[in-house]
C-alpha cells in the first residue's frame, strides 16, 4: 500500500477515526492488525515471512534473558541471525550469487548451467530484517531487556509507517512507546501534519516531477548530449533525496499523529562539507546501524590506520550490497568506502570541522567543500541508478565528453533550488517542523505552507493517472 495512493487515504482515515477511541491494549492490537493489513495489501503471503521473523526473535529474546552460559547465548543469537539473514539472503541475493558464479565459470572457460529461480523480493524485507536484528543483538549485549508482551513486539516489527522503508527504528526507542499510554496532543497533530505535508511536497511535487526526466536520460545515455546527461545526474540526485526523505517525513508524521516519536533519518545531507559528514546526515538510521553493528564490532578506528581503512571499506561494500543485489550497488558502496578512506587520509588524524565559521573566507571555503562533496555524491548516484555497469560506463563517458552542453533542464535547476532551500531552512531554524510553529515569522511560514500545499495538489492532478512508487521500496 503506497502512501500516495487513494487506498491509503481510506486506510489511514479508518485508523485515525478508530485508534484514538481505544484504550492502550486495544490500540496496540488495532495497530498490529492495521500494520499487517497495510503490509499484506501488496502480497498477503509475505506476511508469513514477517511473522516468522517476529516469532523467532521474540523467542530468542526471552531465552537470552534467562540464559547465562555465554556459549548458549551465542548459539541463540546465531539462530536469530541465521533465520533473519537466511530469509533475506534467499529472497534478495540468491539469484545474484548464482548469476555471478555462472558468469565467473563462463569467463574461465567452464560450462555453467546453474538454474535461476523466479523469486519475488518481499517489499521492505531489508528494513524490517535489520530492525529485528537490533532487538536480539542488543539483548545479547545486555543493553536491552526483552519484552514479555508478544503483541508489543509484533507491533514493533510491523509498525506500518516504518515497515516499508524505515526509519530502521531501535527497539530501545520504540518498544517503550508501545508499552506506555500515549497522549495525542495538539502539538503532536500539528507537528505530524507538518511532516506529512513536507514529505508529500518532496515526493509528489519534486521527486515525481523529476522522475520522467531521469527515466528518459538513463534509458539511453548514449543518445543524450553532455548537457542532458548532467541534467540527469542532478535530476536523480534531487529525485532520490526528495523521494526517500519524503517517505521518511510522511512516516514520521503519521507516527507523530498516532503519538509516537520516530528518529530523524535525514538532516540536510546535501549541505555536508565532506562525505563523512554526508553519511552522518543521509539515511541516519542505516548509517548508524552499520556503525553500531558492523564497523565498531570489526574494530572501528581502534586498531590502527590500515585496519580502520579496511573496516570502512568492508562496511561500505556491505552497505552497497544491502541496497541491491547487483554489481552497480556494490561498486557504489566501494566508491563511498574509498571516499571515506580518502577523507581520513586528508584529515591526517585531525577532527573535521562541522560548525560554520564566522569569517567571509571561512564561508567561501565551506561553500567550496559543499560543492565538491555534493558532486562526489551526485556522480556516484549514476551507478546507483544504472541497471548495469556497462550502462554506467556509457553514462560517465558521455558525461565528461563535453561535446555539447545543450539540453540542460530548467525544471531540474528549480527543483534543486527548492530542495537546497528546505535544507538551509532546516539548518538555520534547527528542525524540520518549523512551519508548524506559527508564533514567529507567521507570514513566511503561512506562505511556505500554502506554496507546498498548492504544489502538491497541482502535481497530484498532473500525475493523476500514474502513482509512482517510492524508490527505496525496491531495497
Q: Which residues are catalytic?
A: 323
Q: How many alpha carbons lie under 13 Å from residue 20 in its C-beta half-sphere?
A: 14
The C-alpha atoms of residue 288 and residue 38 are separated, in whole angstroms, by 27
Give whole-number Cα distances, 419 to 210, 372, 429, 461, in Å.
12, 18, 16, 21
The C-alpha atoms of residue 420 and residue 417 are separated, in whole angstroms, by 5
The C-alpha atoms of residue 436 and residue 269 are separated, in whole angstroms, by 22
Scanning 349-388, the segments in alpha helix (DSSP H) are: 360-385
- Do 210 and 411 form a contact (C-beta atoms < 8 A)? yes
Give whole-number Cα distances, 417 to 152, 413, 444, 461, 462, in Å.
43, 6, 17, 23, 21
Task: Name the residue among 436, 455, 475, 465 with its Cα closest to residue 203.
Answer: 455
The C-alpha atoms of residue 17 and residue 1 are separated, in whole angstroms, by 19
- Count CB neighbours of 273 within 10 A: 21
The C-alpha atoms of residue 3 and residue 470 are separated, in whole angstroms, by 9
Dihedral angle sign, alpha carbons of residues 349, 355, 360, 365: positive
Phi and psi (nearest 5°) for 302? -90, -10
First to last CA, the chain: 16
Maximum Cα–Cα distance for the chain, whole Å?
72
The C-alpha atoms of residue 16 and residue 6 are separated, in whole angstroms, by 16
Beta strands in 161-250 (DSSP E): none
C-alpha cell at 116: 535461476
Q: 41-52: string of b/e by CB count within 10 Å (b at 16+)?
A: ebeeebbebbee
The C-alpha atoms of residue 26 and residue 10 are separated, in whole angstroms, by 21
**Sequential DSSP letters for 261-318:** -PPP--S-GGG-SSHHHHHHHSSHHHHHHHIIIIIHHHTTTSS-HHHHHHHHHHHHHH
Q: How many alpha carbons lie under 13 Å from residue 6 in its C-beta half-sphere?
A: 6
Amino acid at each position: 500500500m503506497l502512501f500516495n495512493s487513494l487506498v491509503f487515504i481510506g486506510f489511514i482515515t479508518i485508523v485515525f477515526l478508530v485508534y484514538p477511541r481505544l484504550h492502550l491494549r486495544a490500540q496496540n492490537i488495532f495497530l498490529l492488525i492495521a500494520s499487517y493489513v497495510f503490509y499484506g495489501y501488496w502480497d498477503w503471503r509475505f506476511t508469513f515471512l514477517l511473522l516468522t521473523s517476529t516469532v523467532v526473535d521474540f523467542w530468542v529474546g526471552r531465552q537470552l534473558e534467562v540464559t547465562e552460559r555465554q556459549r548458549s547465548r551465542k548459539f541463540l543469537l546465531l539462530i536469530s541471525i541465521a533465520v533473519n539473514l537466511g530469509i533475506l539472503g534467499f529472497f534478495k541475493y540468491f539469484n545474484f550469487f548464482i548469476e555471478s558464479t555462472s558468469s565467473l565459470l563462463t569467463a574461465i572457460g567452464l560450462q555453467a548451467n546453474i538454474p535461476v529461480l523466479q523469486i519475488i523480493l518481499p517489499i521492505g524485507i531489508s528494513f524490517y530484517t535489520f530492525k529485528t536484528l537490533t532487538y536480539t543483538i542488543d539483548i545479547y549485549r545486555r543493553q536491552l531487556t526483552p519484552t514479555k508482551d508478544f503483541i508489543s513486539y509484533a507491533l514493533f516489527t510491523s509498525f506500518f509507517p516504518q515497515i516499508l522503508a524505515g526509519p530502521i527504528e531501535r527497539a530501545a526507542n520504540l518498544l517503550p512507546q508501545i508499552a506506555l499510554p500515549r497522549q495525542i496532543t495538539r502539538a503532536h497533530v500539528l507537528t505530524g501534519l507538518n511532516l506529512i505535508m513536507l514529505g508529500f511536497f518532496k515526493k509528489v511535487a519534486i521527486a515525481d516531477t523529476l522522475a520522467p526526466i531521469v527515466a528518459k536520460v538513463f534509458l539511453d545515455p548514449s543518445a543524450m548530449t553532455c548537457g542532458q546527461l548532467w541534467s540527469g545526474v542532478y535530476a536523480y540526485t534531487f529525485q532520490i533525496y526528495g523521494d526517500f526523505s519524503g517517505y521518511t517525513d510522511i512516516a514520521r508524521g503519521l507516527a507523530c499523529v498516532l503519538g509516537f516519536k520516530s528518529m530523524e533519518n535525514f538532516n540536510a545531507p546535501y549541505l555536508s562539507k565532506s562525505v563523512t559528514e554526508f553519511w552522518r546526515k543521509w539515511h541516519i538510521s542505516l548509517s548508524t546501524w552499520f556503525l553500531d553493528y558492523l564497523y565498531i564490532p570489526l574494530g572501528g578506528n581502534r586498531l590502527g590506520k590500515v585496519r580502520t581503512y579496511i573496516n570502512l571499506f568492508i562496511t561500505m561494500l556491505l552497505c552497497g550490497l544491502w541496497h541491491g543485489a547487483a554489481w552497480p550497488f556494490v561498486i557504489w558502496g566501494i566508491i563511498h568506502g574509498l571516499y571515506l578512506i580518502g577523507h581520513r587520509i586528508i584529515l591526517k588524524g585531525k577532527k573535521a570541522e562541522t560548525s560554520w565559521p564566522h569569517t567571509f573566507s571561512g564561508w567561501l571555503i565551506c561553500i567550496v567543500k559543499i560543492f565538491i562533496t555534493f558532486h562526489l555524491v551526485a556522480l556516484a548516484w549514476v551507478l546507483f541508478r544504472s541497471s548495469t555497469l556497462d550502462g554506467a560506463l556509457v553514462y560517465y563517458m558521455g558525461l565528461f565528453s563535453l561535446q555539447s552542453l545543450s539540453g540542460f533542464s530548467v525544471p531540474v535547476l528549480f527543483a534543486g533550488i527548492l530542495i537546497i532551500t528546505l535544507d538551509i531552512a532546516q539548518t538555520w531554524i534547527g528542525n524540520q517542523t518549523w512551519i508548524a510553529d506559527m508564533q514567529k515569522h507567521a507570514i513566511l511560514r503561512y506562505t511556505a505552507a500554502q506554496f507546498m500545499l498548492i504544489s502538491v495538489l497541482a502535481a497530484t492532478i498532473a500525475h493523476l493517472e500514474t502513482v509512482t512508487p517510492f524508490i527505496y521500496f525496491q531495497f
